Amino acid sequence: MLHPRLHLGFYPQVHLSLARGEGESSVAGHSDVSNAMNMGRIRELLNGQHFRLTNERERLLTLFAAAPYLLTPSELHELANQQGLHVGLTTVYRLLEVLTKIGVSSAFLVDGKVYYAYCGLKHHHHFVCLRCHRVVDVEGQCPTFAVPPEFDVQDHRSDVFGTCPDCREAN
């Protein structure tokens, strides 16, 4: 059963466009999915992994990108089914795996479960609410670390975990 935060009311734009079978809807918070140039770049990255972005997978990607919360694969699967996109759980796992591999999605371990957030193509960091699993993109400078000079940094990840205003207010 879906967490109460995942009801259709959170996804009105995506619900309407998925019902029409369109994969390039305007998605609040992650407009790069709807941008044809960025979808083209995502498609290129997926092709580089020998992963074909079918219409069904593109619709699933659009739904995933619209999620304002972290999702487990089973939650994304159930949400897709709720929205009339009947895909197998294996399809969901494969899409999340390849999106994470190409850097368009990030995995988070919270309370012993693996959750995913859509990240898009622009590098950024996240604030994750540990109560409701809401994800907010965080802009600004990353904290600096004293990396020993003999090490070569190739990438980094810096996310912030805590309580969002809604959850703080609820308690």
Between the alpha carbon of residue 113 and those of residues 2, 53, 75, 120, 127, the distances in Å are 15, 27, 12, 22, 17
Same domain, 58 and 88: yes
Cβ atoms of 56 and 91 within 8 Å: the answer is yes
* Domain-terminating residue out of 74, 103, 118: 118
Same domain, 50 and 103: yes
Same domain, 23 and 104: yes
Same domain, 92 and 74: yes
**Total domains, the chain:** 2
Same domain, 70 and 85: yes
Alpha carbon distance 99, 61 (integer Å): 9
Q: Which two tokens stand for residue 147?
A: 């990396």
Amino acid at 119: C
Range of the domain at 154: 125-170
Cβ atoms of 25 and 13 within 8 Å: the answer is yes
Same domain, 97 and 160: no
**What confidence tens digit (pLDDT) does each residue in 57-76 have?**
999 999 998 888 889 999 99
Same domain, 14 and 62: yes
Same domain, 136 and 59: no
**What confidence tens digit (pLDDT) does each residue in 92-130 have?**
999 999 999 988 888 988 888 999 988 877 777 778 888
Same domain, 11 and 40: yes
**pLDDT score of 152 more than 60:** yes
Q: Which two tokens stand for residue 17?
A: 């466009």
Same domain, 15 and 86: yes
Domain CATH for 28: 1.10.10.10
Per-residue pLDDT band at 29 (split at 50, 70, 90): very low
Cβ atoms of 72 and 114 within 8 Å: the answer is yes
Same domain, 88 and 44: yes
Q: What is the pLDDT of residue 159?
A: 76
Q: Which two tokens stand for residue 84?
A: 């009339």
Same domain, 27 and 69: yes
Residue 167 CB-density burial (10 A; 0-12 exposed, 13-18 middle, 19+ buried)? middle
